[in-house]
Amino acid sequence: MNIFILQLVIGGAIGIGAGYIGAFMILRRMALVGDALSHVALPGLALALLFNFNPFVGAFTALFVAVVGIWILERKTSIPSETLVGIFFTTALALGILLTPQPELLEALFGDIGNVARMDLYITLPIIVLVMIALKLISKPLALSTISKDLTRSMKIPVNTINFLFLLMVAVIVALGIKVTGTLLMGALVIIPAAAARNISRTFSHYTLMSAVLGGVAAVSGIIIAHQYGFAPGPLVVLSGGILFLVSLLFKQ
């Protein structure tokens, strides 16, 4: 497969997954959490670069540790999740900058989809599909817990387990997307398409669908423009999303 086509397929799939999960993050008022979690992946990515193993494995391992830590501390203490994410975010970012080799630091921060291989496609597509199916299955209790946790618990729905699974899926999408936008900008790919979709959607199902579509459009258009003019794809993917958001304001429902 042509390397450029491979970049478009992988980038588009990640954009779709990021937009879809971003819809739920906007709904749950977790926009800043998504941005902070993307930075938490940097130490794992740094270790992957240092010891030459798959960056996705390193990034997801760091995110998994952070998600488990946040989930446990949120249950055991009265510290809000936003505060815990902020602590993990700043600590991980500092550690990641220290560990990441200087020549690869820009790649880690802003992504480099030019290095994708066919194996990345085999990893990315099945994981994106599985995450979207799993998110669809828990979407109703997830939405209900956003409205009222007490009501959700009274219906015997395991709120804590649902929240943990959701954070885990966010971690998976962020780890995959680092290849496209890097740790610094991945949060924007999750949030901006969803924010744009919210402006033009009337129903929840239409909102999640449009979030996924706009995420894919932002990723693909950013990669195409970067390829055409020789720029780094990551920032252009985010800028494409920003333009879509501005356009969506003209059609705000």
Average pLDDT over residues 127-151: 82
How many other β-carbons are positioned within 10 Å of the β-carbon of residue 79? 12
231 — pLDDT class (breaks 50, 70, 90): confident
Report the CATH number that the domain containing residue 207 is assigned in CATH: 1.10.3470.10
For residue 71 the two structure tokens come to: 């989930």
User: What integer pLDDT is reported at residue 103 of this predicted model?
Assistant: 65
Number of domains in the chain: 1
User: What integer pLDDT is reported at residue 105 of this predicted model?
Assistant: 67
Q: pTM for this one?
A: 0.85
213 — pLDDT class (breaks 50, 70, 90): very high
Mean pLDDT, all residues of the chain: 83
Sequence-separated (6 or more) residues with CB below 8 Å from residue 82 = 32, 33
- Look up the domain containing 15 and give its range: 3-249
Higher-scoring residue by pLDDT: 243, 79: 243
User: What integer pLDDT is reported at residue 102 of this predicted model?
Assistant: 67
19-33, 66-80, 155-169, 210-224: least confident range: 66-80
Average pLDDT over residues 234-244: 91
C-beta of residue 244 within 8 angstroms of C-beta of residue 195? no
For residue 155 the two structure tokens come to: 């219906």
User: What's the burial of 185, exposed, middle or buried (CB within 10 Å: 0-12/13-18/19+)?
Assistant: buried
Using the structure block, give the residue that is written with the tokens 């943990």: 164
Three-state SS annotation for the chain: CCHHHHHHHHHHHHHHHHHHHHHHHHHCCCHHHHHHHHHHCHHHHHHHHHHCCCHHHHHHHHHHHHHHHHHHHHHHCCCCHHHHHHHHHHHHHHHHHHHCCHHHHHHHHHCCHHHCCHHHHHHHHHHHHHHHHHHHHCHHHHHHHHHCHHHHHHCCCCHHHHHHHHHHHHHHHHHHHHHHHHHHHHHHHHHHHHHHHHHHCCCHHHHHHHHHHHHHHHHHHHHHHHHHHCCCHHHHHHHHHHHHHHHHHCCCC
Using the structure block, give the residue that is written with the tokens 């496209």: 180
> What's the rounded Cα separation, in Å, for the pair 72 and 215?
31
Higher-scoring residue by pLDDT: 76, 129: 129
Distances (CA, A) of 27 to 24, 50, 147, 225, 247: 5, 38, 10, 31, 21
Average pLDDT over residues 138-161: 74
Q: Give CA torsion, residues 183, 125, 135, 48, to 10 deg.
A: -30
Question: Is residue 15 pLDDT above 90, yes or no?
Answer: yes
